[in-house]
Amino acid sequence: MFKKFLRNLTNKPEFMRRAMNFYAPIRGAGIQVERIAPNFDEVEVVMPLTRRNKNIMGTQFGGSLYAMADPFFMLILMKRLGHRYHVWDQEANIRFVSPGKAAVKGVYRVNDQALEEIKALAATGEKVLYTFGVDITQKDGTIVAQVTKVLYIRLKKQYRPQSN
């Protein structure tokens, strides 16, 4: 009964937004989840430049910039695909483009077309490696970092097609 209650709570974007903001790695870096779309297709994250995430040069610390991007594509896919799929981070890359001298923002999206493509690829029961990308920008549009994430998606064993 408690599991069902918890599952219902985690299906509410506002609850998930608050929970993510309380999560130590997010909170510790000063990252704030500003918005999660009602259907979980988009998450907007900001990080002001503070003493908690400033590097020796006085700009955004690279590890904090990566932490801004780390969980969100996985979260979106887990919510949008549902319990029938395994979703794991497989690989990540961050390219630092310019110094982050102010607050930065990342908007993580998985549109319906990508979701349907992933479902079609995973329908055979084989693993799918799908690449997502996001630009982390300052308010003026300056790109501070570009992040690519490769996610592993696969139907759970009990939902895979029966092999002959």
Per-residue pLDDT, 11: 84
Looking at domain 2-159, does it have CATH number 3.40.50.300? Answer: no
**Type and span of the H or E element at 28:** helix 24-28
- Whether residue 2 is predicted with pLDDT greater than 90 in this model: the reply is no
The letter for the amino acid at 47 is M
Rounded to two decimals, what is the model's pTM? 0.92
Rounded distance between C-alpha atoms, residue 106 and residue 91, angstroms: 19
In this prediction, residue 164 has a pLDDT band, given cuts at 50, 70 and 90, of low
pLDDT in tens, 128-143: 999 999 999 999 999 9
- Whether residue 6 is predicted with pLDDT greater than 60 in this model: the reply is no
Angle (CA) 71 49 27, round 5° = 40
CA 100 to chain centre: 20
Q: Which of 154, 25, 150 is nearest to 89 (CA)?
A: 150
- Whether residue 151 is predicted with pLDDT greater than 60 in this model: the reply is yes
